[in-house]
Amino acid sequence: MTKENYIKMTQPFRDNPGMAKGIHIANKLCTGLMYVSYPVLIAYLFFLEDEMIYRAVLVPAISFVLLSIGRYIINRPRPYEVFDVPSVIKKDTKGKSFPSRHVFSATIIAMTYLFVSPWIWLGILFLVVSLLLAGVRVVSGVHYISDVIAGIAIAVLAGWIGYIII
């Protein structure tokens, strides 16, 4: 991505307070929905005394830790740092852009619903929410497209492999 592309993509949101607010709301709604849905699933499995709870906890936890370590090592600067243009979602985080941990987390939660819950349709819905979140993170200027694609791909792969192995 070039600076010109970054500006062209984010400027309409920075220039229009209503659009900026919409991006903020979409980011919070997508993130909040995913982070509420995961404990709900864990509580459901716990109360049923379902042994799937171990898989539902271990696969996301191990994957999250490994992703975070990789992200720390790579330490890719964020677009707003590289291009010195503010993001729509106000952030002051330096580095740690690749891969997107928000998108990874949303996607691994969706994978957990697909593999562990009785509600496969929620897993599919949550994959759509993950894609929406990925778009929001890019147009808001806090991630590159490659950051969110990597977050999705790693979560899908980690979920698929993790739920087959564990």
pLDDT at 151 over 80: yes
pLDDT at 166 over 80: no
**Structural domain of 118:** 3-165
Look up residue 135 and give its two tokens: 């778009």
Q: In terms of pLDDT, which residue wins out, 100 or 86?
A: 100
Which pLDDT band, with edges at 50, 70 and 90, does 110 fall under? very high
| Predicted pLDDT of residue 28 | 96
Q: How far apart are CA 94 and CA 37, in angstroms?
A: 29
pTM over 0.75: yes
DSSP letter, residue 100: -
Q: How far apart are CA 45 and CA 59, in angstroms?
A: 15
Average pLDDT over residues 132-137: 97
Q: How far apart are CA 154 and CA 47, in angstroms?
A: 30
Which pLDDT band, with edges at 50, 70 and 90, does 131 fall under? very high
Q: How many domains would you assign to the chain?
A: 1
Nearest to 150 by CA among 74, 81, 60, 90: 74
Task: Please check whether residue 100 is in contact with residue 155, taking contact to mean a CB–CB distance below 8 angstroms.
Answer: no
Q: Three-state DSSP class for 86? A: coil
* pLDDT, tens only, 4-31: 999 898 999 989 999 999 999 999 999 9
